[in-house]
Each structure stands twice: as structure tokens, then as C-alpha cells.
Structure 1
Amino acid sequence: MTLYSKIIGTGSYLPAQRVTNAELAAQLAAKGIETSDEWIVSRSGISARHFAAVDQHSSDLAVEAAKRALEMAGKEPADIDLVIVASSTPDFYGSFPSTACIVQRKLGMANGSAAFDVQAVCSGFVYAVATADAFIKSGAHKNVLVIGAEVFSRILNFEDRTTCVLFGDGAGAIVLTASEEPGILATKLHADGSHSDILQVPGNVANGAIAGSGFLYMDGPAVFKLAVSVLEQVAHEALDKAQLPASAIDWLVPHQANIRIMNSTAKKLGLPAEKMVVTVDQHGNTSAASIPLALDAAVRDGRIKPGQHVMMEGVGGGFTWGAVLARM
């Protein structure tokens, strides 16, 4: 019997505080920094984003998204035998204990299931799904909870308008289960560390404090150039692996970073704009959470239907990129 992994539940969560471009522009103006709704929308397609409350951590957002995914899947926390959390903003500064272990505790999972974090920045969710898929196909695990969760507002420099207007907070989750029916059809992952300097938080821990900067730094033009070149390539690699043409894609769910990158990718794949799920306008760039947030939105509003082919792909710091082709 051939074993597959299949998505049986999706869930998402956005913090209560929604910040529009106009509201953010007013906050920045108080610091003498000029920006506007028109400036932000024209460069990114973003109109609003959500910011976590002071007492909310990535695990808190992750737990809410996980509960909704579990409910859709008809599963209890005790049914899950592996938790994978993709995040660049973990609960703890030293990245341990892992956010996945904190999520496990907050969900009340006392079943001894495995739990760990994955760090591939904005490609994190794709990396996590590929990892979960391999575990399920190997027979090592049966039900895997995969979560992307971020509180990027904690690492934004609100004196740098080129980055602080782009990012938001949120979490998305899926439940993958072992199945005889094809689900995840193909995955493909890449990285190129020679570009590690174009998107990073250039600080490290020294004597219990940050040495360097704890704020996100991005070379926007360099990231844009790399992103548009690799996303089409990796999508075709996943399609080739699954022996399917690009025309078989029912929905493209790309990393929600910049509408221009997203539109360019869809165009290169020969897909009409109406086949691409877009949430960047309301969520901003939520890094590892962006793909599962968009996926859940389209599943719950009925756009994505059982049996359809969904291409999920992301690109992020590292430099990392990857794609997952799934049959829902």
C-alpha cells in the first residue's frame, strides 16, 4: 500500500488589533517619518495588517489557529503525534524551549508526541509541510499538526518605512494525516546561503543581551529580484515531480509578501489572476504564517474545493525557497 499525507483541516488566527495604512502613516508621522496609504499600496499591495497585543506570543496565535484546524479535521489534540511550528519569532529569545513544545503544552497534549520548530523564515511553512509529509510517508507519524506563526511586529524598526509598513502578525495551521488517497503530490525545497545578507536580523546573543541589531533588515530590490526568478522555477519542479502541467493548478497560494511578486509568478505560470489567492492586502507579510493564513481563508470561503490542485510556494531569508503541490 502506498502511503500519502493529506490535508484534512485548516485554521488561522489574526490578532484583534488591525492597523490600516492611514493609521500606521499617522504613527510614523509623529516620528517625522513620511509615508502614505498610496505609497504603501503602490509598492506592495498592502492596505492593512494585524499586530499582536503586548502579552501575545507566537505560541498564543499558533494555538488558536491549531484549534480551528483540529476542529475542521475532526481531531482532538491527543490524536496528534507530531507538532511542527515554523516561526522566525519564537516565544523565547534563545529559541528554546521550542515554540512547538509550548504549543503542545497549551493544547494540553500529554501524549508524549514529538514537537519541534522549523526555521526557514518566509519559506518556513513550506519547509514544515515537506518535513511532515516525509515523516508520514515513512510511517513514523500518522497525524501531524503543522503551524506557521509570527509576531513580526516585535522585530520591526518603526523608523524604517521601507520595512515596517510591510509586515504583520498572525498564524495559520493545517492537520496532515496518513491516507491511501493522494494528498501532498510533490514538494521541492532549496536554499542558497550566499544571499544570507539580503534579509536578516543581524544580531546575536552575547552576555544575555543582543549584540548588533535586533531589527529586521531587508535589501528590498535584491529580495524582489531573487524572488521572481526562483518562484516560477520551483513551481515547475514540483509540477514535474508530480507529472502535471501548470494548467492543472486550480489555485496558486503563494507567500503573501508583495503583490507585484505574486502577480509576476502567476503570469509566468500562465495562470489568470483569479486563480491566485490574495490576502496580502489585509494581512501584510506574515512570513511563515502567510501561506496557511491564505489557504485557510480560501478553504473556508469555498473557493478551494476537495479534489482541486493547490500550489503553495514561498521564498524567504536564508535565502530559502520551496513549493508544495497538494490535492485537497
Structure 2
Amino acid sequence: MNIKITGTGSYIPTDIEKNEDFYNHEFLNSDGSAINAPNKVIVKKFKAITGINERRYAKKHLNTSDLASFAAEKAIENAKIDREDLDYIIVAHNYGDVRHDSIQSDTVPSMASRVKHLLRIKNPKCVGYDVLFGCPGWIEGVIQAHAFIKAGIAKKCLVIGAETLSRVIDPYDRDSMIYSDGAGAVVLETTTDEGGIITHDSATYTLDEAHFIYFGETNNPEINDKRRYIKMYGRKIYEFALTNVPLAMKSCLDKSGINISEVKKILIHQANEKMDEAIVKRFYELYDMEMPEGIMPMTIGTLGNSSVATIPTLYDTILNGSLENQEINKGDIIIFASVGAGMNINAIVYKH
């Protein structure tokens, strides 16, 4: 028996925020000083670095748990399972339900309990819990579900990554243009089909790196409220990721015994186009190879960075045939990889 993803689903919000919509924003440096450049120049530089043209924001009446349940419904339907047979619902997120125009994150009850409620699952033996692991949270949830099934304490698990980052961004911070909303979900279960999760690897770096991504005050010193926003040290994250993520991917692949030439796709967290390209290029350099064309599908250009939702959303989009010039076929070797707040890194080698 193998442990495989048997169903996928995603929810992509319909509200589109284009780069031009930021032309009238007042962007400030972290010390509150004015940025010596017009917004059109700021946005143009942002696009050149991140590759983002637009991002998606959830409707005002929807919360993270709503988005998660929408993606979950699709994954359950795609897997053709009875939802009452689920043993675990694992929801990866970072900020819980943040209602529109609220200054507080709500995580009681947990996102998993809320999703189970929204799915109307009656079975009390279906256990729900949350994973707080930064952007790599969905991958870590898949790793945990795999462990539960492998240990014989579960047969079917639902793993979701969902976020509404539009509710926790500082409008005076240029980095606010990076973030977006969305949700992706998968069902994992035992199957007689060939393939599944082959190897996985995770790591947490905290000695100097723990606070590279944090919650901080607005860049506008004239605003006096208690709200906190997602903040990051972009250069430090870039250097950290470029050094450590390729090594984690190599460690995971080497443990699998699979030759790098067999890898068909690398689904990496959609964090920053230039950074992701540099990571995958460095990964191939570790094998004295050039990065193959088309190996790294990207959705960040139109969907932005939705944290834990980026990889499951990307995976579902490809399987649905909705990403141009990209496909995943039965038997293909895939690497899932992510990096994010914590600082956490993980990777999975998977046979589709």
C-alpha cells in the first residue's frame, strides 16, 4: 500500500488587485520617512523583483476558514470519498480568521474546528487541529498526515493551506504588494496505486533567523493604534533561502535514491519570482546541472503570495489543466519545497 494524494481542490478569490491600484498609496520607509521615488517607479521595481502583476483578495464577508472549507469541499469531491471517513483535518495558516476591518486575529476555536463545522462532518473521531509553521505549513501538514497514515492510526486525512494576508498588511509598506489570499487542499489516503510520498525533510533555524518575519507596527508614525502587521527583513530572507533551501531539497532527493534527471516538476512556495528562480537554479548547480526549462511552474504573477496556500493551489491548478504549458502526468517525480517564518524549511519528493 502507498500513501498518495487522491484529491485536490483550491479556492482563488475573485477580487483582483492590480499593481496600478497601488499608484495612489502612500509608501513609507520603515522609519516613517518618505521614499524618494514616485509610486509608478516603486511599483515597476517591485514587479521586476517579484514578478507579481496582480493578486487576489477575499470578499469582505469571507474569512480564512471559509476559503479553507471551499477548497476542502472540492478536494473531498475530487477524491470521491465520504467526508465522514476522514480521520484528520489539518489546517495550515498563520493568522487565523481576521475579519475585515478588525484589529484582532481569531483562532478560538481553531481553524480546523471551524472547517469541520462548515463541512458539516458529524463524526467526532475526525480530529481537527492547526499547523503554525509559516509558509511551509501546508507541506508540514502533509508530512504529518503521511506519518499518521504510515503509523496505522489514520486512513484518510484532509490537509488544507489557507490565508487572508490582505487583512494583515500595512498599506504604508511596499511589501504589502506581495501578499494575497487563497486556499488549497488535498486528501491523502492509502491506495494500491503506484507512487506517493517517497521522502521528506524539514528544518527550523532560530539562532539568528527566528525573527526574519514578524508582526510589527505600521510604517506611518502618525498613526497611533494597536494593530500589528506582517513585516519582514527581505534581504536576510533572500540570503537565507538561497543558502538553505537548495540544500534541503538536495538532502530530500538524495535520501529518495532518485536521480535528479527524473524530476519532472518542482512546486516551490510562490514567494518571489526572482528568489524562487535563484533557489531552483542553485539546486541544480549542486548537481553540476543547468536548470531545465519549464521545471518550475509559477502562479505568483497573477495570484501573488498567499503563504501556505501557494503550493496546494499551484498543484491543483496544474492538475486541472488551468496553467498554460504545464502538466503533471501519472508516474512523474515532483519536489514540493517551501521556506518561511520561523525560519522553517521543508521538502517532499513525491511520485504522482
Aligned residue number for residue 338 of structure 2:
314
Of residues 180, 202, 209 in structure 2, which corresponds to 1:168? Answer: 180
Q: Indicate the structure (1 or 2) with the bigger Cα radius of gyration.
A: 2
Amino acid at match of 1:85: V
Alignment of 1:33-112 (within 5 A): 34-36=38-40, 37-91=43-97, 93=105, 95-112=107-124
Aligned residue number for residue 154 of structure 1:
167
Aligned residue number for residue 220 of structure 2:
none
Give 1:202 shift. Answer: 4.3
Alignment of 1:227-246 (within 5 A): 227-246=241-260
Alignment of 1:267-286 (within 5 A): 267-270=281-284, 271-286=291-306
Q: Distance in 2 between matches of 1:244 and 1:47?
A: 36
C-alpha root-mean-square deviation of aligned residues, in Å? Answer: 2.1
- The percent of aligned pairs where both chains have the same amino acid is 30
Give 1:265 shift. Answer: 2.0
What CA deviation, in whole Å up to 9, does each residue of 1:282-302 have, x standing for no partner?
Answer: 111111111111111111117
1:269 partner SS:
helix
Q: Distance in 2 between matches of 1:82 and 1:133?
A: 11
Q: Distance in 1 between matches of 2:82 and 2:16?
A: 31
Aligned residue number for residue 127 of structure 2:
114
Aligned residue number for residue 318 of structure 2:
298
Greater percentage in helix? 1
- Asked if residue 251 in structure 1 is aligned to residue 265 in structure 2, the reply is yes
Aligned residue number for residue 260 of structure 1:
274
Amino acid at match of 2:347: A
Aligned residue number for residue 135 of structure 1:
148
Structure 2 stretches lacking a partner, 5+ long = 29-33, 99-104, 218-224, 285-290
Task: State the TM-score, normalized to the length of structure 1.
Answer: 0.92
Give 1:244 shift. Answer: 1.1
Give 1:6 shift. Answer: 0.2
Change in CA separation of 1:222 and 1:297 when aligned onto 2, cut-off 3 Å: same
Amino acid at match of 2:109: P
Give 1:213 shift. Answer: 5.2
Task: State the TM-score, normalized to the length of structure 2.
Answer: 0.86
Give 1:100 shift. Answer: 0.6
Q: Distance in 2 between matches of 1:288 and 1:30?
A: 26
Deviates more, 1:270-279 or 1:145-154: 270-279
Q: Distance in 2 between matches of 1:316 and 1:4?
A: 29
- Asked if residue 19 in structure 1 is aligned to residue 14 in structure 2, the reply is no
Aligned partners of 1:40 and 1:47 also within 8 Å: no
Deviates more, 1:150-159 or 1:187-196: 187-196
